């Protein structure tokens, strides 16, 4: 199994790599190993994302490594666009053994990888990809349901802006028997490139506009937040009007199959509105376990790339 030089997009994960990482994550969950002692990770975040950053940093520290942290790399971006990212990537790659990068522009991670002396891990670039999120999503599905194939997966919400659903779709297309249901307001549909990829990989997909219609059949209901900051105010208001068609609450929770799971990349806002008791006790609520899985799978991935 060949190591990855950089992690730019979820398509780079073969099933072989996925299952290797799942096993490694299970192993690290039981017993931490200091395999990255003396190594330094730089988190270079041009957009704040405390959850993702802390998850990566915790993973690195638990493996015995150290962290250079950048909560807000805007002062870099004051330089001329493109040029600046180019220079920054060269310079920061002199200081660290791996760079975890979050950027507001699609394709930023790829550009950085072209010049960096050390591995770049894409932690989200614009409306592009977020491959380690897809990795933890697949890991969660596997832990929760015991398989990555023959799944009916509904993705619900603002599918136009959500990079997590893009990255996840690419991975689901690698396994047989999966079916994807895209539930979004008509003006925030998933983009064509993902749909074409799924067609090529013989993954059936259909589009819906009302969550209540798909709750009784989905194995995985993958909810995403409306990315207010990436769409127009007008588009946002349209979503508000269709709220009930895009929300899980006490009213429709019982439509969900007993062995299905609700997932969410977090942070969630009001697209999931369930009582604390349900969140804590009903096994169909998987999103907090999903977040925790992020730590262990990122440990596994860092160990795989740098160990």
Piece in contact with a second copy (CB under 8 A), picked from 10-18, 94-102, 182-190, 198-206: 94-102
Q: What is d(CA 120, CA 115) in angstroms, rounded to the nearest whole number?
A: 10
Residue holding tokens 């019982």? 254
Piece in contact with a second copy (CB under 8 A), picked from 35-43, 118-126, 135-143, 203-211: 35-43
Residue holding tokens 């506009």? 209
Q: Give me the residues paired with residue 208 across strands.
A: 183
CA 2 distance to own-chain centroid? 23
- Check binding of 48 to a second copy (CB under 8 A): yes
- Check binding of 270 to a second copy (CB under 8 A): yes
- In three-state secondary structure terms, 156 is strand
Q: Which of 7, 25, 36, 49 binds a second copy (CB under 8 A)?
A: 49
Q: Which of 12, 58, 242, 252 binds a second copy (CB under 8 A)?
A: 58
Q: ∠ at Cα 223 (174, 130), nearest 5°? A: 50
CA neighbor of 16 nearest in space, from 128, 148, 109: 148
CB 153, min distance to a second copy, A: 23
Q: Among all residues, which ones are annotated catalytic?
A: 51-52, 81, 102, 130
Residue holding tokens 């136009």? 160
Phi–psi pair at 263, nearest 5 degrees: -120, 160
Q: What is d(CA 151, CA 180) in angstroms, rounded to the nearest whole number?
A: 8
- Check binding of 151 to a second copy (CB under 8 A): no
- Check binding of 37 to a second copy (CB under 8 A): no
Q: Which of 68, 151, 231, 255 binds a second copy (CB under 8 A)?
A: 68
Provide the binding-site residues for a second copy, judged by CB under 8 A. 32, 38, 40, 42, 48-51, 54-55, 57-58, 61-62, 66, 68-76, 78-80, 83-84, 86-88, 90-92, 94-96, 115, 266-270, 276, 288, 291-292, 295
């Amino acid at each position: 199994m060949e190591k990855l030089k950089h992690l730019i997009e979820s398509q780079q994960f073969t099933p072989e790599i996925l299952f290797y990482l799942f096993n490694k994550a299970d192993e690290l969950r039981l017993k931490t190993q200091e395999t990255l002692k003396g190594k330094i990770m730089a988190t270079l975040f041009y957009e704040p994302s405390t959850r993702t950053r802390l998850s990566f940093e915790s993973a690195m520290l638990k493996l015995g490594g150290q962290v250079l942290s950048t909560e807000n790399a805007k002062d870099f971006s004051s330089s001329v666009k493109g040029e600046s990212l180019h220079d920054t990537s060269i310079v920061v790659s002199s200081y660290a053994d791996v760079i975890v990068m979050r950027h507001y522009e699609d394709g930023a991670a790829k550009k950085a990888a072209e010049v960096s002396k050390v591995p770049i891990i894409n932690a989200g670039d614009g409306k592009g990809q977020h491959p380690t999120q897809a990795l933890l999503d697949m890991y969660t599905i596997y832990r929760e349901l015991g398989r990555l194939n023959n799944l009916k997966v509904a993705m619900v919400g603002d599918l136009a802006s959500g990079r997590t659903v893009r990255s996840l779709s690419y991975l689901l297309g690698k396994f047989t028997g999966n079916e994807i249901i895209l539930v979004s307001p008509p003006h925030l549909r998933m983009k064509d490139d993902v749909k074409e990829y799924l067609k090529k990989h013989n993954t059936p997909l259909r589009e819906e506009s009302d969550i209540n219609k798909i709750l009784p059949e989905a194995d995985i209901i993958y909810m995403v937040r409306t990315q207010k900051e990436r769409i127009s105010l007008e588009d946002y208001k349209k979503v508000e009007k269709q709220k009930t068609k895009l929300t899980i609450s006490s009213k429709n929770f019982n439509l969900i199959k007993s062995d299905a799971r609700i997932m969410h990349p977090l942070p969630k806002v009001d697209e999931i509105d369930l009582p604390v008791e349900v969140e804590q006790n009903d096994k169909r609520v998987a999103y907090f376990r999903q977040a925790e899985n992020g730590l262990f799978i990122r440990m596994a991935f860092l160990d795989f790339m740098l160990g």
